[in-house]
């Protein structure tokens, strides 16, 4: 059940995404593999992203398995949740664990979905994706450009995520950007880095134009602060003027209709706040929508 109607098994399933029990065939029979990564080391404003994965898993128990928007339901055996990676505050340790697990998932021709954690967890995941799909691209949904070379003497800060990804030579498209520093803006102009900002009047036209130039396998890295804070207020670095829930659904529709195939994803930067379970539930439902809308069509 996804409707929170109770049931004696509820307290047993907090480590599973969405479903009431682990699939009978476990990892081997699943096509979507959820990997919680409770990593937090470089957050610079609000804290708490390390608690994000557990909050998303708990909230996912309340999400209906049938999705009204896409009018689909994944088979119970479609999703399997791995144990969370070991908690650490050292980037190199986290990166080694995430890189190896995502590489294994992709090698097994499954779809990894990472629940973060701060945004830097995306870097090793996309390194693994790039190993398997060297011609793939990255769709970056975020309020921030994340293009700093260093932030507070840290090259692996969450504020440097897209810079490190682009260092790999990967094509990227940033969506939802509302905050850049001068260094980032100069880099965007110098390298003609594709981005679409809702603060521009031609946002949807710009997004559509960029999407038509991308094709093939892609990784979606989704920072929840790309949504407006009225939708997800529990995040470390909120920015006003973000996309509404309905606009994010339109964005997912455009992705699904494009020539892009989303192979893997991460959903990051939820910082759960006491009494504000709206944000946890919204993030869990978003993760489910990404699976249903962007990955299910590849599971035939």
How many domains, in total, are found in the chain? 1
DSSP bridge pairs for 151: 154
Rounded to two decimals, the pTM is 0.92
Range of the domain at 151: 29-298
3-state secondary structure of 286: helix
Question: What gap in Å lies between CA 67 and CA 178, rounded to an integer?
Answer: 30
- Tokens 């890295």 correspond to 221
75, part of any domain: yes
Question: Which conformational region is residue 88 in: left (phi greater than 0), alpha (psi within -120 to 50 degrees), or beta?
Answer: beta
**CATH number of the domain residue 262 falls in:** 3.40.800.10
Q: What is the DSSP string of 203-250?
A: HHHHHHHHHTT--EEEEEEEEGGGB-TTT---BSS--SS-B-HHHHHH
Question: What gap in Å lies between CA 232 and CA 224, rounded to an integer?
Answer: 7
For strands 79-81 and 171-175, give the pairing: unpaired
251, part of any domain: yes
21, part of any domain: no
89, part of any domain: yes
Query: pLDDT in tens for each of the 300 residues of the chain?
Result: 334 333 333 333 468 898 655 666 789 989 999 999 999 875 555 567 889 999 999 999 999 999 999 999 988 789 999 999 998 989 999 999 999 999 999 999 999 999 998 999 999 999 999 999 999 999 999 999 999 986 665 765 767 899 999 999 999 999 999 999 999 999 999 999 999 999 999 999 999 999 999 999 999 999 999 999 999 999 988 899 999 999 999 999 999 999 999 999 999 999 999 989 999 999 999 999 999 999 998 876
5, part of any domain: no
């Amino acid at each position: 059940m996804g409707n929170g109607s109770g049931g004696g098994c509820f307290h047993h399933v907090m480590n599973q995404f969405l479903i009431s029990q682990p699939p009978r065939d476990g990892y081997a029979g699943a096509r979507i593999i959820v990997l919680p990564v409770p990593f937090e080391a470089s957050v610079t404003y609000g804290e708490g992203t390390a608690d994000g994965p557990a909050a998303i898993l708990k909230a996912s128990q309340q999400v209906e398995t049938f999705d009204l928007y896409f009018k689909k339901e994944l088979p119970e055996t479609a999703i399997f949740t791995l144990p969370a990676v070991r908690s650490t505050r050292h980037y190199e340790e986290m990166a080694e664990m995430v890189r190896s697990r995502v590489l294994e998932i992709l090698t097994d021709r499954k779809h990894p979905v990472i629940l973060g954690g701060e945004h830097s967890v995306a870097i090793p995941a996309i390194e693994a994706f790039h190993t398997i799909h060297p011609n793939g691209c990255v769709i970056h949904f975020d309020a921030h450009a994340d293009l700093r070379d260093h932030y507070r003497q840290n090259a692996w800060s969450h504020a440097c995520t897209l810079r490190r990804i682009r260092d790999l030579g990967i094509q990227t498209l940033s969506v939802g950007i509302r905050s850049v520093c001068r260094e980032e803006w100069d880099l965007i102009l110098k390298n003609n880095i594709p981005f679409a900002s809702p603060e521009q009047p031609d946002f949807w036209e710009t997004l559509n134009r960029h999407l038509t130039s991308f094709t093939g396998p892609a990784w979606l890295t989704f920072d929840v602060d790309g949504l407006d804070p009225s939708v997800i207020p529990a995040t470390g670095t909120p920015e006003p003027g973000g996309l509404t829930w309905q606009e994010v659904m339109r964005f997912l529709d455009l992705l699904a209709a494009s020539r892009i195939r989303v192979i893997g994803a991460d959903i990051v930067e939820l910082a759960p706040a006491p009494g504000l379970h709206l944000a946890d539930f919204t993030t869990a439902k978003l993760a489910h929508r990404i699976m249903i809308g962007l990955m299910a069509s590849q599971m035939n």
